[in-house]
Each structure stands twice: as C-alpha cells, then as structure tokens.
Amino acid sequence: MLIGILSLQGDYQAHARSFSELGTPTCEVKKPRDLQHLNGLVIPGGESTTLIKLMDSSGLWLAVREYAVSGGALFGTCAGMILLADQVCNPPQRSMKLINIVVERNGYGRQIDSAEMVGDFPQSKDNPEMEMIFIRAPRIVSKGPEVESLAPCRGEVVLGRQDNVLVASFHPELTMDYRVHSYFVQMAS
Ligand code: GLN
C-alpha cells in the first residue's frame, strides 16, 4: 500500500501525518513519474488557482486526469475538491471534471473565513459525530445522483464519493480523527 500526496503547494504535510498515524506509507508527488505504483493519490487544500498553474507546468494536470480515468483512487480536500469538480463557480475556473459536483469557491461566506462545525459520519455506527474544520471552504452546491453523500453537515454534503473519487469541503487532516483517511485507505486497497 502506498498513498501519494500531491506536494506542490498547500497543506500536504498534514495529510502525510494523518496517514502515518494509521501506519500507511506515503510519498510526495511532484512529477508525473511519481504516480507510478500508487494505490491512491491525495490532492490537498491550498490555493486552487496556484495549484492549477503548478500542475500545468509540471505535467501533472494531464497525468492526474489519466491516472483517475484509468481507475486510480483520488481524494481531494478543499482546493483539491475544487480541482476535481465537474464545474466551479465564484469565479468560474478550469477543473478536471472527475466527479459530478458543482462547487462554489469560498461558498461559506467571507465573514466566516474558517469555522469548526460538527457533522455526521454515519460510517461509524458507534460514534457518528465528526468535528470538521472549514477554511475558506468550497461548498458543494449541487451533485449528480451518482455521487454518494458520506457525511452531511448542517444539511449539506461535505464528503462525497463517485466510484474512485472522494472529495471533502473540510480538512480531515487538521484534526486527530483519522476516520476519513482510513476510509480512503480502504477505498484504495
Ligand atoms: N478558497 C481556496 C481556493 O479557492 C481553497 C481553500 C483551502 O483549500 N483551504 O482555492
């Protein structure tokens, strides 16, 4: 098992820490050849416009699309989710169209730049509550029927999955709750 973490910009080191708590090996992904031999790939939070530029110049924009289209497991958090969405608004920008969601950037309002909320993670029957950290977070404004809602928070989908693609509006890598990372490891196995 090996999980790659896109390490061009953003909070990639926090993801590496979460996987290491689970005993799951990770490696940094900076070039297309780093995608070889991965079971899963994480696209972290950061600044989506900057990530687009860096992925273009490194060749990773096309390589990650190919990786996903050929069935590789992908997990995008926050800016990572923006990159994987079918459509992006506020303002519109290019995306990889790998999961059928429409995403509004900074969709939780300018006043609340960051917030901690409690959502549900029904996969854990004994403890379905989950603390969720949102930072200038994108909001899923609509989703296709093929996208499964894995965690609602205040009536909205904040963790969604379509086949091999998982996305979160919040930052599970910033808490000491590793259940979402553990879910992704199972998905990538
Ligand atoms: N608002 C950022 C963007 O649009 C995402 C914020 C984040 O990843 N924490 O790229």
Atom of ligand 1 nearest to the CA of 106: 1
15 carries an active-site annotation: no
- Site to probe by mutation for ligand 1, drawn from 9, 103, 105, 114 as the one with most ligand atoms within 8 Å of Cβ, is 105
Mean pLDDT score, 12-26 = 98
- In this prediction, residue 113 carries a pLDDT of 78
Mean pLDDT score, 9-22 = 98
Which amino acid residue places its CA nearest to atom 1 of ligand 1?
136
Distances (CA, A) of 3 to 40, 92, 134, 154: 5, 30, 24, 31
CA 44 to centroid of ligand 1, rounded, Å: 10
Residues 76, 40: Cα–Cα separation, whole Å: 11
pTM of the predicted protein model: 0.97
171 carries an active-site annotation: yes
DSSP track, the chain: --EEEE-SSSSHHHHHHHHHHTT--EEEE-SGGGGTT-SEEEE-SS-HHHHHHHHHHHTHHHHHHHHHHTT-EEEEETHHHHHHEEEEETTT------EEEEEETTTT-SS-SEEEEEEE-TT-SS--EEEEEEES--EEEEE-TTSEEEEEETTEEEEEEETTEEEESS-GGGSS--HHHHHHHHHH-
pLDDT digits (tens, 9 = 90+) for 153-184: 999 999 999 999 999 999 999 999 999 999 99
CA 81 to centroid of ligand 1, rounded, Å: 9
78 carries an active-site annotation: yes
User: Residue 24: phi, psi to the nearest 5?
Assistant: -100, 125
- In this prediction, residue 13 carries a pLDDT of 98
Cβ of residue 167 lying under 6 Å from some atom of ligand 1: no
Residues whose CB falls within 8 Å of the CB of residue 80, separated by 6 or more in sequence, listed in order? 6, 10, 42, 43, 44, 45, 46, 51, 167
Cβ of residue 46 lying under 6 Å from some atom of ligand 1: yes
pLDDT digits (tens, 9 = 90+) for 104-138: 999 987 656 788 999 999 988 888 999 999 999 99
> Is the pLDDT at 139 greater than 80, yes or no?
yes
Two tokens, residue 9: 């910009």
The catalytically annotated residue of 15, 104, 153, 173 is 173
> Is the pLDDT at 152 greater than 60, yes or no?
yes
Q: Are 159 and 180 in contact, with CB atoms under 8 Å apart?
A: yes
> Is the pLDDT at 60 greater than 80, yes or no?
yes
Two tokens, residue 24: 């799951």
- In this prediction, residue 112 carries a pLDDT of 63
